[in-house]
Structures are given as C-alpha cells and as structure tokens.
Structure 1
Amino acid sequence: MTEFVDIGALADIPVQGARLVRTAKGCIAVFRTSDDRVFALDDRCPHKGGPLSEGIVHGSSVTCPLHNWVFDMNTGEATGADKGHVGTYATRVEKGRILIDASLIARSHAA
C-alpha cells in the first residue's frame, strides 16, 4: 500500500499551474487542473529536457514549453505523433491538502 506525505495546500498551486518539488528521486512537477485534480510527473521532458513545470496545462495534459510536446498527465505518455514518456507519481487531495507518494520525499524537501 502506498503511503502519502503532505506537500502543501491545493491553493498554493494556481489553477492550471504547477509547482516544482525537489525529491530524493529528482524534480517532480505537481500540476493542478481547472477542476482541481492534481497530477505529479517527472519535470524533465524526454525530448529536449524542457521543464514541464513551466508548461501549459490544458485539461489533463501539459505541453512542454520548449518544443510543444504534449503529455497525458494520467499516463505520462506523449500524445500525437511524438513518442516519449515521463514518470507519473501517485497523488491525492484531502481536506484541501496535496498528498504525494511518500517514497519520493525521503531525504528531501519541497521547493
């Protein structure tokens, strides 16, 4: 069973925005959609290393700010003709707080 750790308030992330979380396993982009769903993905686009946390959130997708690759935040898969994948991580929202897979946070802190 996955254990979760609180990383902050949902209100700390703008609607259709993101925040960067530095973890023991690298930088994770935590996204908030227009309907308050939360997703966590590796922050690095596999195409050119673009910071997905600076991308455009639309629906349950994010577009890389460097070369417009679009990733489904549910699966981490690039959509369209692009082939690529980024890691996804378990999240949930409880009482307005964002919880993320605790195994990511060991020996680190949120940025």
Structure 2
Amino acid sequence: MASDHPVEYDVGHVEELFSRGRAVVPVGPDELPVLVVKTRRGLFAVTNRCPHRGASLDDAEVSRSTITCALHEYRFDLRSGRVTGGWGTRPTCDPLVVHRVRLADGRLVVALARSRADSPRA
C-alpha cells in the first residue's frame, strides 16, 4: 500500500543556495530539476519550469515570495504556485508545482509533490 506522505530526498549541502540565494538541484530517482530559492520569507522549492512555455526559472526575478518568469513575465506565488499576474490581463497558464523543502542539520531536504494537487497551499 502506497503512503500518502511524499518521499523526502536529501539533496545535500547546497553552497550555491547560500551564496546566490537559489540553486537548481536534481531531486528523486528521475532527477527532476527543482529550483530552491532562499528569501527573507523562507525557503521555497518549485519545479524549474514555467508552466506557460516551459522556460527555466533559475534566472527569474524573485521578490519576497513571488517569482517572475523572464520569458513572458508571468508571476507566481512561491508558497502556493498560484499565478498572481503576467502576460495579458488574465493569466492563462497553470500554477507552478510547489514542493516542500526544509533544512535538516545544514542539509537540504525536498519532498516532491506528485502533482499540482499535492503542492502545499499558502
């Protein structure tokens, strides 16, 4: 019987996260690229792919708990993945997939959401 709890993956000590404020780390057996962002509001982890056109988010602008994709300027809440603005007056793209993330003894631990429905909510 499968567990309802997501599996946690220890992705190690990520120096880039502490020096640059963000890092893309491969997570899980399929090495899903996950963007981990550190802000004054906490740690956030999202799949490193904008759901609008698939652009990488590793160089996206981050402000507080919002990330803005450089391709079409869609804005997403890093806590929930919700679209908060962007291209056109009515954003028409799916939310980001958000993963749980925490530090444990100086090491980064990520729990992958199986789907958008499994993403933590703000």
The TM-score, its normalising length taken from structure 2, stands at 0.68
Query: Does residue 1:73 correspond to 2:82, yes or no?
Result: no
- Specify which of 82, 85, 109 is matched with residue 91 of structure 2: 82
What residue in structure 1 maps to residue 32 of structure 2? 26
What residue in structure 2 maps to residue 56 of structure 1? 61
* Greater relative contact order (CA < 8 Å, ≥ 6 in sequence): 1
Larger radius of gyration: 2
Paired residues, number: 103
CA distance in 2, matches of 1:29, 1:3: 18
What residue in structure 2 maps to residue 17 of structure 1? 21
Contact 1:16/1:57 (<8 A) preserved: no
Q: C-alpha displacement at 1:27, in angstroms?
A: 1.9
User: Given the superposition, is the C-alpha separation of residues 2 and 54 from structure 1 closer, same or farther in structure 2, using an over 3 Å criterion?
Assistant: same
- Specify which of 102, 107, 112 is matched with residue 97 of structure 1: 107
For 2:11, the aligned partner's letter is I
User: Given the superposition, is the C-alpha separation of residues 99 and 36 from structure 1 closer, same or farther in structure 2, using an over 3 Å criterion?
Assistant: farther
What residue in structure 2 maps to residue 4 of structure 1? 8
CA distance in 1, matches of 2:41, 2:20: 9
CA distance in 2, matches of 1:28, 1:97: 15
SS of 1:76's partner is coil
CA distance in 1, matches of 2:113, 2:99: 10
Contact 2:68/2:74 (<8 A) preserved: yes
